[in-house]
Amino acid sequence: MAKLEQMLLVPPTGESSQGNMPAAKLLGKRTHQMPGKLNVSELFFEVPKNYSKAQDGSLRLFARSVKRFEKPVDISKKEIKQPPWLLFLQGGPGMPCKSPQYYPWTDILLDKGYQILFLDQRGTGLSSTVTARTLATEGGLAKQAASLKNFRADSIVMDCEAIRKILTADYPAEKKKWTIMGVSFGGFCCGTYLSNFPEGLQEVFISAGLPPLVKDPDIIYKYQFRRLAERNKAYYEKYIEDIHRVKDIIRYIQKESVILPSGGNFSVLRLRQLGSYFAFHGTMDIVHDMICRLTSDLNQFGFFTRPTLAAFDEMMPFDTMPLSALIHEPIYARGHPTRWSADRVMSHIPEFQRVSVDGPEPVLFTGEMVFRDMFKDYDELRNLQETADLLAHAEDWPELYDEAQLAKNEVPIYSAVYVDDMLVHFDLSRDAASKIKNCKTFITNTLYHEALFSKSNEVMKQLFALRDDTVD
């Protein structure tokens, strides 16, 4: 295990479209040799909480970098290798990165000659984690809401640009730019990066994450509910017996007060949220397995057993990642309040409003949406209801995308777009691709939202074909 290297202040240098930013610094770096001959380094950075208000204090960010292991060389006899950097921007919002060995495409990118940086975006993982307790240290509700406004793509991208300048400080000018790869919300961050700091980018890869260039999140949810209705139809056609099973479960939880091991409520709303799994390859089966397990408990014992409730509890991560709930709708806000958009949109869709245990119609599952009543069902969210309300009615959201800059963009973009994506609708992705200059797309109806992880070889092959193929 290598000695901890304490690093001095390294201020970002150079001009950007955002002007000079406050200084960031690398606090420490520890490198490990991992199985498969990888060198994995753990890095901690300090960055301003609010780049326009240095007095607001700082945040600590965590990242892992990975490159191929090489035997130490005598630097007096051999030039030090400086492989180009590739930054991975995780989906979410509110989700941390996993270790490099988890991602099936790590080896592919290393073979392409990159060294990769896996960043826990601010508020996630080990990067100044947001929880109800850490937020309480900010002060009252208004201060908590104000603090949370610093956890969107605009601030994440400023972190990334500051980190880039630290990591490439000793690189020659022609190697200081880096490649970024974003999936889902990470792709939205790529759009903000292209808008604000294109001079820091060599190339951009995006999977299921071309940013929807809309001002009103209601548009997002209208598309999502439309696709969700299709996925519900496919689910109940595959598992027709689950129509009555789901209703039996609802009858029981409407009659009995069921408390989950986490302390949260087993509500009808929480049951219906299992539909978020419909966005991924093969995960309808996971929902069906849970419905079978709940039904089996009722049939055998007349109640749900603790192992079953614990398994159900773990399927929705909002207790461990409350930031996902708090800023899920604000990530779309561009100058207008969100006002609990998913709730309002669903209230106008009868088939999703209907939760009847009588009659032949199935009860429809919802998807990756955050509803106000969730803050009653999840133990970690209960103390955050009023803060979430303040965010939902905030009007002073800054712009996330510079559409004029995107229209004249010169950075090469290679994007995988999925026709049947339940979370980032194809029509909105196609519209974004038409508005962002220099964007090449691979379009398919055979892959779903998380294909970068479940079908890595195919997605990476197609993304690099976009980059390396020539068109006469």
List, by residue number, the catalytic residues.
184, 421, 449
| Residue 233 and residue 278 in contact, taking contact as beta carbons nearer than 8 Å | no
Among the residues of 92-216, which ranges form H helices? 106-111, 132-136, 141-148, 153-167, 185-196
Q: Which residues pair with 337 in a beta bridge?
A: none
Amino acid present at 407: A
φ, ψ at 25 (rounded to 5°): -150, 155
Which residue from 128, 12, 155, 138 is spatially nearest to 61, judged by alpha carbons?
A: 128
Question: Which single residue is written with the structure tokens 């419909």?
Answer: 278
> 51: buried, middle or exposed (CB in 10 Å: 19+, 13-18, 0-12)?
buried
9 Cβ contact partners less than 8 Å away, ≥ 6 residues apart = 23, 25
Residues in the chain: 472
Residue 220 half-sphere exposure toward CB, CA atoms < 13 A: 25
DSSP string, 57-74: -EEEEEEEEEEE------
- Non-local (6+) Cβ contacts of 445 within 8 A are 418, 419, 420
Question: Would strands 38-48 and 413-418 be described as parallel, antiparallel, or unpaired?
Answer: unpaired
Those residues whose C-beta lies under 8 Å from the C-beta of residue 275, and which sit 6 or more positions away, are: 228, 231, 232, 235, 287, 364, 365, 366, 367
Tell me if 48 sits within 8 A of 60, measured CB to CB.
Answer: no
Burial class (CB in 10 A: 0-12, 13-18, 19+), 74: exposed
Question: What amino acid occupies position 422?
Answer: M
Q: Is the peptide bond before 217 cis (omega within 30 degrees of 0)?
A: no
Cβ atoms of 409 and 200 within 8 Å: the answer is: no
